Structure 1
């Protein structure tokens, strides 16, 4: 005996231009029928929150699936799977497609070569799927946009729930973020962690979906933007604060990556921070409390 609920959608061309669209969502549990062998033309994320079963890879490998786990069904790749015939399993699934899936794959959020992914906890992804089922009522005028936005959220939740990553993020990434604004090269960062540059590159690519250089640059430029917007520090001082001794190089780099010069960014974004910071920004981990006047 099994129970199933599912809805399928047909988003229009304008919705597809949002990057990702949801094609269907469902919840099922029990001794579900075997799926496949079959091949799809879109992605499906199958989140197994309880139970166990098997997955047969195209190369003939039979993999055990034990909850919590994720099955990646990717376009053009044959798949064949089923829960245990006696105990069954509890699953939620989301069908989706769109041009942004290529970028999510490049960043490591979708893993075509890894169809069975152990999760540390399925609670987060399952909560997103549950919200999608609530949005899937037929009289919801925002259905396609709301469920499409939820696919982005689901991909982040699945990435965060992967069992091979620490729940609070990879410790190497945390250390890089902490030291990002120090004047250290990628090789220097690798040496501080007892790693080769290649090993650090692999670790950062696996955890953040980009190179160490891009990871560090994103943090540096984000901090530079905060300093430009919330302080009166000269651009040269901002450059030094984020790890660049040459303000001209910093300005060229900022302009190339942000699309506008530091001085222009400040003119557009400068504002007085509550509390009156003049040469520093508040700690991101301790945001300021904005006092609201008492009601008359």
Structure 2
């Protein structure tokens, strides 16, 4: 049945070959737990992860650059982003969770459709997802060593991601809130005041702030800053643009102010970040 709790606790891990990570989605692990599962605290993953909650309630937490807490109520998906310090766990009543760890450049196609957003870590769903058959297959694929099993696990992950896409919808205004948050993210680099952003979207300042808080756990201003700094980090790592041009392109007319807010939020200056993360020969 859709949304059934797993029959038992299980966790399996794998070390997929590099070629699979480059061209497909590579499964690094999967599992299912039910009941009062011990929470994770201050964990960082080297891979992407998703945790589908089919029953129960709980909380997702991020610790850096500041602590945020987002409530989780089934059915929902928690997105785990590589390198982000996080925690999550059920309320005292427990929950049913189904999780997958994966890497792969092809996940970018799903990100373009709104999955796995760094700025929307908890995605409510409007319907339950069938898990029994798919996770049963995935367990077998991960337990079996070999290229064919790794490819089969990759396809199972893609099937589950497609199921998540189908389950995203208007649950208590979720679709409207998601649309507002996506619109703000697209226009985050434009120099607009909060009232201007609200007017452009046809909502009140309070409605806009409430929508962002419900979807991301952040205030509107903090969300805009997070989106801007995420874009700035990508430009620092992937281009040779000078810091002043990057500041301007993400919405900051004053490079000095951009450097201060970047350093305060990221924990290092733009120059140091570029030196650590860039593969370009920046002169």
Is 1:33 aligned to residue 29 of structure 2? no
Higher Rg of the two aligned structures: 1
Task: State whether residues 118 and 164 of structure 1, in contact with CA within 8 Å, keep that contact through their aligned partners in structure 2.
Answer: no
What secondary structure, in the 3-state scheme, does the structure 2 residue paired with 1:49 have?
Answer: strand
- Aligned pairs for 1:81-120 within 5 A: 81-85=88-92, 87-120=93-126
Separation in structure 1 between the aligned mates of residue 100 and residue 133 of structure 2, nearest angstrom: 12
Which of 62, 67, 90 aligns to 1:60? It is: 67
CA shift, 1:129, in A, is 2.9
Q: What TM-score do the two structures reach when normalised by structure 2?
A: 0.53
1:203-241 Cα deviation digits (max 9, x unpaired): xxxxxxxxxxxxxxxxxxxxxxxxxxxxxxxxxxxxxxx
Q: What TM-score do the two structures reach when normalised by structure 1?
A: 0.51
Which of 69, 78, 86 aligns to 1:71? It is: 78
Separation in structure 1 between the aligned mates of residue 17 and residue 33 of structure 2, nearest angstrom: 27
Separation in structure 2 between the aligned mates of residue 123 and residue 162 of structure 1, nearest angstrom: 10
Separation in structure 1 between the aligned mates of residue 123 and residue 145 of structure 2, nearest angstrom: 35
Greater RCO (Cα-Cα under 8 Å, separation 6 or more)? 2
Is 1:123 aligned to residue 125 of structure 2? no
- The residue that corresponds to 2:195 in the other structure is none
- Aligned pairs for 1:230-241 within 5 A: none
Is 1:22 aligned to residue 24 of structure 2? no
Structure 2, gaps ≥5 residues long: 1-6, 177-199, 202-283
Which of 143, 150, 158 aligns to 2:156? It is: 150
Separation in structure 2 between the aligned mates of residue 16 and residue 123 of structure 1, nearest angstrom: 26
Separation in structure 2 between the aligned mates of residue 162 and residue 112 of structure 1, nearest angstrom: 17
Structure 1, gaps ≥5 residues long: 171-197, 200-296
Task: State whether residues 125 and 171 of structure 2, in contact with CA within 8 Å, keep that contact through their aligned partners in structure 1.
Answer: no
Task: State whether residues 47 and 122 of structure 1, in contact with CA within 8 Å, keep that contact through their aligned partners in structure 2.
Answer: no
- The residue that corresponds to 2:185 in the other structure is none
Q: 1:14 to 1:141 in 2, by over 3 A?
A: closer
Q: 1:68 to 1:140 in 2, by over 3 A?
A: same
For these two proteins, the number of residue pairs brought into alignment is 168
Higher deviation after alignment, 66-75 or 151-160:
151-160
Separation in structure 1 between the aligned mates of residue 145 and residue 85 of structure 2, nearest angstrom: 35
